[in-house]
């Protein structure tokens, strides 16, 4: 869905008002799912957009597309807006991005998907610096720091460790218990192949299934639940007669689609609270976006006189250990002896 010009104008006006309070707030318009990117670039630049974003999605990257042609087109229009680029940016391509005129570069998977994210970030930064060392006026490092910092933050939020991301898969266990040597997996694969051939984006789908897909046949529903909880999928379809009972065995999943009538596409567009879900196994420790994420809470701590006698000694001991004598004394003042 492309934002209307009126909507963009309102956002820009809001940004200009907020600038009185927040310094450096900018409106970025990302060229994704836009048919005529040149025309749209000129339109949003005329409306006052501060940043034009060139973005190549994962499905487009899987089909072999890169952002460089669009980047060259946008920078060549000389709209006055800054240009950001995301999608497929890595050590091997970062020079090309910078030389093409990008003001802001987002390096995501090349950092958080690396075995050593810090080393990957350093390498990308060094290559970018080397390609612009002699540029007039110097290179603006703030956007790079922000983009690479965002990539590193994504690493810890998405993976929780410095290991390469494990492949993910969506699992829809059958309500029937099948022996491990039965044929349903082969039948399912054949059905998938037939359906893929009917799709306009079949080349992208094939690449996605080959690189990131898995078809897992389980011995029983208990094993299915164990695998689901290990994968912690963003989406989990329970295509079975009694999904409610089985859902009680699922501890880690973003959105669970209950029963054969509840396909995942409904959750994408018109069912459920929203489609902002934990990806890359982060459902192990995070939840779908909800109203509670926008609520502010305070902790209320109230200790009785008797409780202060016990906790005060503990707090004083720890405070002295940290070298915070005033903290320790504040707890000791409340001790009766």
Q: What is the DSSP string of 182-239?
A: SSHHHHHHHHHHHHHTT-TTHHHHHHHHHHH------SSHHHHHHHHHHH--SEEEE-
Pick from 267, 82, 246, 228: which is nearest to 176 by CA?
246
Residue 235 among the catalytic residues: yes
Radius of gyration of the chain (CA): 26
Helix axes 5-18, 37-47, angle to 10 degrees: 40
Q: Which residues pair with 258 in a beta bridge?
A: 238
CA 251 to chain centre: 21
Catalytic residue among 29, 50, 235, 252: 235
Residue 26, C-beta contacts closer than 8 angstroms, at least 6 positions apart? 15, 50, 51, 82
Q: What DSSP state is assigned to residue 293?
A: G
Which of 57, 280, 286 minimizes the C-alpha distance to 163? 280
Q: What is the dihedral of CA 147, 153, 154, 160, to 10 degrees?
A: 160
Strand, coil or helix: what is 28?
strand
Residue 235, phi then psi, degrees to nearest 5: -120, 140
Contacts of 205 (CB under 8 A, 6+ apart): 196, 199
Angle between helices 37-47 and 68-76 (to 10 degrees): 50
Contact assessment for residue 98 and residue 132, using Cβ atoms and an 8 Å cutoff = yes
Q: Which of 50, 55, 234, 237 is catalytic?
A: 234
Q: Give 77's DSSP letter.
A: T
- Please tell me whether residue 83 adopts helix, strand or coil conformation: strand
The residues that are catalytic are 234-235
């Amino acid at each position: 869905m492309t934002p209307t010009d009126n909507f963009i104008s309102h956002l820009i006006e809001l940004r200009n008002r907020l600038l009185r309070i927040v310094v450096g707030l900018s409106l970025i318009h990302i060229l994704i799912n836009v048919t005529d990117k040149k025309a749209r670039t000129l339109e949003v630049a005329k409306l006052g957009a501060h940043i034009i974003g060139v973005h190549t999605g994962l499905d487009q990257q899987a089909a072999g597309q890169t952002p460089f042609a669009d980047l060259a087109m946008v920078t060549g229009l000389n709209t006055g807006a800054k240009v950001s680029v995301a999608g497929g940016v890595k050590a091997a391509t970062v020079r090309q991005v910078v030389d093409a005129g990008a003001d802001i570069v987002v390096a995501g998977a090349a950092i958080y998907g690396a075995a050593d994210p810090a080393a990957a970030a350093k390498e990308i930064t060094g290559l970018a610096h080397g390609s612009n060392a002699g540029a007039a006026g110097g290179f603006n490092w703030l956007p790079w720091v922000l983009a690479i910092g965002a990539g590193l933050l994504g690493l810890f939020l998405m993976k929780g460790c410095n290991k390469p991301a494990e492949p993910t898969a969506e699992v829809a266990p059958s309500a029937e218990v099948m022996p491990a040597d039965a044929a349903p997996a082969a039948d399912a694969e054949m059905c998938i192949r037939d359906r893929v051939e009917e799709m306009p984006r079949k080349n992208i789908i094939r690449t996605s299934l080959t690189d990131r897909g898995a078809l897992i046949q389980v011995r029983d529903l208990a094993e299915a639940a164990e695998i689901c909880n290990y994968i912690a999928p963003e989406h989990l379809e329970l295509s079975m007669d009694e999904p409610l009972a089985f859902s009680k065995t699922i501890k880690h999943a973003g959105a669970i689609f209950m029963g054969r009538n509840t396909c995942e596409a409904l959750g994408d567009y018109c069912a459920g609270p929203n489609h902002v879900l934990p990806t890359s196994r982060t459902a192990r420790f995070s939840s779908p976006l909800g109203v509670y994420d926008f609520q502010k809470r305070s902790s209320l701590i109230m200790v009785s006189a008797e409780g202060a006698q016990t906790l005060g000694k503990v707090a004083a001991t720890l405070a002295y250990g940290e070298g915070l004598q005033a903290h320790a004394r504040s707890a000791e003042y409340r001790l009766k002896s």
